[in-house]
Chain A
Amino acid sequence: MSALVRALRAERIKLRHTLAAWMVPLAPGVILLLSLVQLGFAHVPPPGPTDPMAAWKHFCQGMFTLWLFLMLPLFITLQAALLAGLEHGHHQWKHLLALPVPRRTHFMAKLCMLMAMVAASTLLLAVATPLVGWVIMQLNPAQGLTGSPPWAWLVSRALAIVAAGALMALQGWVALRWQSFTVAVSVGTAGMVSGFLIGQSDRLGHWFPWSMPVQVFLRDGVHLWFVLVAGLVAGVAIAGFALWDCSRREYD
């Protein structure tokens, strides 16, 4: 078994009983619950489209806007800090890095685990969105969510996790590189706030890591392919740099 697979299995054990593990269902769960409460008990029909397919898209877009603009950057920031904090907090590096395992393996496993958790949450949101839509229809048929959910649209928007590659690698590096939880959270918060503003710019929005994910549907997805490719390429490049930088560091 390769060292990376073994390190990933070890990471899975370390996540038992942790907030980071609970965050995977909780983060999309909050969005789903808010939508359910807001739309399921609304007394007036939405001002949006009356065509069922358009109503579904409107509903899904609202869900994903909340996720990609607000929750995802916050989620990535916290998950990266929590995952790295497992090792920083109890001075684990001196144990892990004294094992006869290549140094980069530990850092690679952390980045892979971060990406897997973000992907799992995003996919959970994509899969649960139609289910919540169905529940809303039972509670409040005026919302017009009839017919089949737009699965293709949901799947394509779930690709935002690829567009978030650069952001995940960047936050992962910051969290692993600096032992302070505050540094990782400060960088993430500053990036998220900047992302709100920059993300609305047609010229810069698709270049800024914190606003790249939301570009998958902003302006009708005009930058979709750019952010997918750029997110992937920049993510791999930043992850490569992170592995190099963390592996050469002497940890306490």
Chain B
Amino acid sequence: MLAIQTRGLTRRFDGRHGVTDLALEVPAGSVYGFLGPNGAGKTTTIRLLLALLREEAGEIRLFGEPLSWTRRAPLSEVGSMVETPSLYPHLSGRDNLEATRLLLDGETASIDEALALVGLTADAERRVREYSLGMRQRLGIALALMRRPRLLVLDEPTNGLDPAGIVELRALLLRLAGERGITIFLSSHLLSEVEQIASHVGVLHQGQLLFQGTQESLRRRHGDPLAIRCGDARAVCDSLAHLGEQPQLLDEGTVSVPAPRRADHEINRCLIERGHAIHAFGRRPHSLETLFFELTGQEART
């Protein structure tokens, strides 16, 4: 069962990338990290998924139900927070939720339930203007939970949060996914965060989906590089080149072979036979960050 499925989804803007021919497949129950550099089209995609923008071409299905600018019924299954939380700062946290509850014709109990879930019960009567950024972010999620959604769509939910706030939010999202089985679709710039909570990732670049699947499949596709820690890295590089490999000198004591042609044990044996001092030898898993930069052809700004 797919929580989100898009086919040929396209929306362009004058002078800006939108998204082109997007084919998203988000399995129900997954935590899907939607990655892409600034301007890649992440927010456009999210706005399309929430019928906040008109689709130019293609179709969207939420839990199998078609969604469009004019056909919005599937939104009853969706809770959302786009960029910053939409809150009325002059109202209390409870009043903010009450306004949304009334619009949704929800039960009064859903307010206390949402407050408890995000840990804001004690601060419910305080005005939102007195809330910290982290509390506002949690209240924003509580608003999204008012519909008791099956799908939570979050656009950059960690924006502006300090490390403690990020940890809190991560724990909350994992709890929602684990205990309630809510599918979470989140875009984020923080690759390390996505790496920790997402079961699936999608990588968007210039409006096009470069990859989607589980994190494992992404790693499998790219293969982990061979990392060799040794006494004389330059000499090891020469030997590896002599063996027909394409080594990379990472520093004076480390050599990497991104895609070895020979078996690992064979390379190890050859290096030892040539008298190199090998301190450590093995595969080093790619970080999501490395894979992201490889996919998008970008380099980290140092």
Contact = CB atoms under 8 A, between A and B. Distances in A.
A18 B88 CA distance: 11
Contacts of A1: 105
B95 A91 contact: no
Interface stretch (B31-39, B50-58, B115-123, B254-262): B50-58
Interface size classification for chain A? 20 to 34
B100 interface: yes
- The interface centre, meaning the residue of A90, A92, A96, A98 with most chain B CB atoms within 10 A of its CB, is A98
B173 interface: no
A91 B84 contact: yes
Contacts of B90: 16-18
Contacts of B4: none
Interface string B84-116: 101111110001001110111100000000000
A83 to B, nearest CB: 13
Contacts of B86: 90-92, 94-96
A17 B86 CA distance: 18
Interface in B44-90: 47, 50-54, 72-73, 75-76, 78, 80-84, 86-90
Interface centre among A6, A16, A92, A100 (most CB of B within 10 A): A100
Kindly name the residue among B47, B78, B102 whose own CB sees the greatest number of chain A CB atoms within 10 A.
B102
A233 interface: no
Contact of B51 (A13, A18, A86, A98): A98
Contacts of A95: 80-82, 86, 100, 143
Contacts, number: 81
Interface residues of B, number: 33
A99 B99 contact: no
B215 to A, nearest CB: 28
Nearest to B86: A95
A147 B82 CA distance: 62
Contacts of B82: 94-95, 98
Contact of A96 (B47, B83, B103): B103
Contacts of A14: 88, 91, 99
B98 A90 contact: no
A91 B102 contact: no
A7 interface: yes
Given A14-B91, A17-B91, A250-B52, A91 B83 contact: yes
Main secondary structure of the interface of A (DSSP, over half): loop
A53 B51 CA distance: 61
Contacts of B76: 100
A26 B104 CA distance: 33
A99 B88 contact: no
B181 to A, nearest CB: 20
Contacts of B99: 10, 13-14
Contacts of B127: 17
Contact of B103 (A7, A94, A251): A7
A98 B103 contact: no
Contact of A16 (B89, B95, B103): B95
Residue of A13, A96, A102 with most chain B CB atoms under a 10 A cut-off:
A13
Contacts of A92: 86, 88
Contacts of A9: 102
A250 B53 CA distance: 6
A31 interface: no
Nearest to B72: A100
Nearest to A8: B102
Interface of B: 47, 50-54, 72-73, 75-76, 78, 80-84, 86-91, 95, 98-100, 102-105, 127, 143, 147
Given A6-B103, A14-B91, 8 more contacts: A13-B98, A16-B91, A17-B90, A18-B90, A90-B89, A94-B83, A250-B52, A251-B52
